[in-house]
Structure 1
Amino acid sequence: MPTRPRGNTALKAARQHAGYSSQQAFADALSQAAPRIGLGQMEVSVRQIRRWESDAPPWPRAEHQRLLIHVLQLPVEQLGFTPPWEADHPSAAPGVAGRQAGHAAAGPPLPQASRSVQPPAVGAEYSAITIAFRKMYASVQPAHLHPAVVEHTRLGIQLLTETSGVARRVVASALAEALLLAGRIEFFDLRQPDDADATFVRALQAAGEADDSLIGSAILVHAAFIPGWSNRRADAAERLRAARTYARRGSAPNEFLAWIDAVEAECDTRCGDANSALKMIGRAEDTLKLDGDGRSPEWFTWFSAARLAAFKGNTQLVAGRNSQARDSLNAALESLEPDENKQRAVVLSDLAAVEVTFDRYKEACKRLHEALDELATTWYATGMERVRAVRETLQPWSNTDEVEAIDDRLYGWRTMFSALQH
């Protein structure tokens, strides 16, 4: 039985990634952008968006191309459109994810099946490899894991050309998770936000191919971190609104919904509104207390009550509620699982920051040593950023033996090599 066409998933994914959860919102954004780029008053209709997101999208007129490029910040060729002069000469290599070396950048639309040559079990087999990479993330050095995950995503894109029906959908879902993992490594572990942003677009395309709303929501939530951490609160809020829409469609469990609130709280904290963030964390805590309404998917491994306590402690620290922050962070530290080295490094760094607010520099240095021990086991760029931020606040005690010992570790041969390498 032939599979149902899914339309121009490349444009749809880019639209949703940019924060426009509906075709109407996207049409309005294009219309409003026209005067700003010298096109005068133009009205782009929802009907036009529907045509562009159809199975056979027409090549946009020149002024529409300018609008699309301006609003989505992507070339037209990466939005699912085929130039008329190339319609009879498709790309020889449509299944390569990203031409930029080293990361899974947003590329052309995901390929359609040209021949179903793989056995039905290939979807499950590809998924098993994705699951293995998911488990390795907790312990394998990100600089080593990332290239392998990227190659795995390239294989998945190739398999989309060789599968159909259920097998293709299973491959697409596993590919979406693999691309999400690649983006997580790029953003949190390697601190490459531009690469991560492009990878999340690609991941959303794969989620669209799989028609998997829940993993689509997870991708959009991760994509919100990028503007949230760079003080672009409105952009983060748009992506989170889209994520909540997909979570509703995917019948997300309470744990998943609480995580979205926690991410919004972190974005608010980064953008300087700790009070709003604390309200969101309170809502997340209330959501977690509700009776269970379904199990979280197996790939949802990055959130728990302990992680929420860590979010809360950091926000309380930023809000100046230092004693409360200490209590929340200690509770998080006690509840983390043994293999959560990365998160433990972050919590220990935040506890060190709390000690600095009480002028307890010796206790702060003790916590930083513990954080550095965790980072020596598994590198985590986000954790090292927290350590360095606390070290800046220790400057009044820079000539003490305790702080000099921290500097010896921060600027030792091995640490400096790791920092430069990552």
Structure 2
Amino acid sequence: MSRPTGNVRLKAARLAAGFNSQQDLAAALTRHAQDMGLRGMSIGVRQVRRWESDSPPWPQPDCQRVLVHLLGQSMEALGFAPPWGSDDTQHTDLTWRVLLAEGPVAQSAGLLRRRAVAPQPPTAGADFQAVTRSHRRLYWSVAPPQLHPAVVAHARLGCALLPDATDSTRRTVAAALAETYLLAGRIEFFDLREPSAANDTYLLALQAAGEADDSLLGSAILAHMAFVPGWVGDRDGALERMTAARTYARRTSASAEFLAWLDAVEAECETRCGSTRTALHLIGHAEDVLAAGNEHSSPEWMDWFSPARLAAFKGNTQMIAGHLPQARESLLQALAAMTPAENKQRSVVYGDLAVVEAASGDPQRSCEYAGKALDQLAVTWYATGMDRVREVRRALASYHQERCVRDLDDRLYDWSTTLNALSR
């Protein structure tokens, strides 16, 4: 006789509560969320299926509250394991009982703070945050395979600290943990080309942001999550996540730069999905938002966007749309405006310029830009930049007999570059 598989605890609780199917539970959770005052929250059967799988993800804070209220059991009793480790049985029992007793207003502040026997000192939050800041700066100069393990290890430390932190220290640790997971996800997606792993890491980042009750950080994480479906042409999936990102941004004081970045992210997703006209409209709106500005400043962790990056976004979309003279102008403008701190992105812009010149019938100029991209990649590796160089070579297919293209092949497929690319 075969043993049952999946999260049998949640399945048993579902059946005991009278919900014979995953669809029944999903509909009941959605209705219960509305009754609790969590407007706009919708839980689908796909989510319930993931919760009943062999490795159920730790639900977001609002979902936790609805599950606990509806089924009358703690998260651990329902088969879930928090990413920062389980507390003792007495604390777990107390947590879910308080969640059952509290109303939606009190719950919105986050999960019950654990009262540890020996709580972390107030300095723990600042100390943990200091390392997070250092990793953020190191991202732009350290090779991703070397930095990623350190970032993940730092996240594990944050998960260990979080249950023993209270009040403002807990919020500081949770926010820094969210940023750490966001950085790990960025490395996995943009540098290591592991979108599935990145998506799971972004979910951990979002959960930590919920613990910190940081809507702006939550918005940034959700926008990064939109890249995952967007880059494979899943427009509906990308737009759903962008809608969530914009909703979170409206709950707080977002800077003009942050709002323009949201436009740029959605524009890149639209471009990847073949809607360049919509993308260019979004980029135009982003330029207007930046020009108008507002009274809010950007958070220190937002170091991945600038007017130069927006120009690079624009040039890439114009290139894909076939607007070659405009693309060349935008990309050259981006190069001129980039600071030394943005050198990692230069390989991408050089690659796009190379594609523009190849499409314009100038293989010599195209190869020169591709060579500059390879020069930059030798200094700071970036998988997205290497992808652009490969696009250049495909664009130069009809010129394969040209001397400059053969020279490019010699560089693209020399021992160092080949091993470097394949090993990553």
Give the TM-score range, shorter chain: 0.7 to 0.9
Q: Which residue of 2 aligns with 1:113?
A: 114
The letter for the 2-side match of 1:286 is: D
Q: How far 1:41 sits from its partner (Å)?
A: 12
User: How far is the alpha carbon of 1:331 from its aligned partner?
Assistant: 0.3
1:96 Cα offset (Å): 5.4
Q: 8 Å contact 1:112–1:160 — kept in the other structure?
A: no
AA aligned to 1:386 is R
Match of 2:352 among 347, 350, 353: 350
The match for 1:44 is: 28
Q: How does 1:17-416 map to 2 (within 5 A)?
A: 43-44=27-28, 46-49=30-33, 68-70=47-49, 75-76=55-56, 78-79=58-59, 80=64, 95=84, 113=114, 115=116, 116-416=118-418
The aligned length equals: 368
Q: Which letter does structure 2 place at the counterpart of 1:49?
A: A
Determine the structure 1 residue equivalent to 2:105.
Answer: none
SS in structure 1 at match of 2:340: coil
Gap regions ≥5 residues in structure 2:
1-18, 87-109
Paired residues of 1:111 and 1:161 also in contact (CA < 8 A): no
Alpha-carbon deviation of 1:265?
0.6
Which residue in the other structure is 1:57 paired with? none
Q: Give the Å deviation of 1:46.
A: 3.7
Deviation at 1:409, TM superposition (A): 1.6
Deviation track 1:119-170 (CA, whole Å, cap 9, x = no partner) reads 1111011000000000001100000000000000000010001111110110
Query: Aligned pair in 2 of structure 1 residues 111, 92: CA closer, same or farther (>3 Å)?
Result: farther
Secondary structure of residue in 2 paired with 1:339: helix
| Aligned-residue offset at 1:180 | 0.5
Report deviation, 1:76: 4.4
Contact 2:22 2:45 in 1 (8 A): no
C-alpha distance after superposition, 1:103-134 (max 9, x if no partner): xxxxxx99963614211111011000000000
SS of 1:340's equivalent in the other structure is helix
Q: Structure 1 residues 268, 71: CA separation in 2 closer, same or farther (over 3 Å shift)?
A: farther
- Give the alignment partner of residue 421 of structure 2, picking from 409, 419, 422: 419
1:187–1:193: 8 Å Cα contact kept in structure 2?
yes
Equivalent AA in structure 2 for residue 247 of structure 1? A
Q: Residues 366 and 230 of structure 1: is their aligned pair in 2 closer, same or farther, counting only changes over 3 Å?
A: same
Compute the displacement of 1:77 (Å). 6.1
Shift of 1:65: 9.9
Determine helix, strand or coil for the equivalent of 1:299.
coil
- Asked whether the 8 Å contact 2:190–2:384 carries over to 1, the reply is yes
Listed one character per residue, the Cα deviations across residues 328-386 of structure 1 (whole Å, up to 9, x for unaligned) are 00000000111322210000000001101111000000000000000000110011001
CA RMSD of aligned residues (A): 3.1
Relative distance call for 1:303 and 1:87 in structure 2 (3 A) is closer
Give SS of 2:221's match: helix
Q: TM-score, normalised by structure 1?
A: 0.80
Give, in angstroms, the shift of residue 93 of structure 1.
8.6
**C-alpha distance after superposition, 1:238-296 (max 9, x if no partner):** 11111111111121011100000011111000000101100000000000011432110
Normalization by structure 2: what TM-score?
0.80
| Residues 260 and 289, structure 2, Cα contact 8 Å, conserved in 1 | yes
Q: Which amino acid aligns with 2:298?
A: S
Deviates more, 1:328-337 or 1:86-95: 86-95
Q: Which moved more, 1:384-393 or 1:289-298?
A: 289-298
**Which protein is bigger by CA-based radius of gyration?**
2
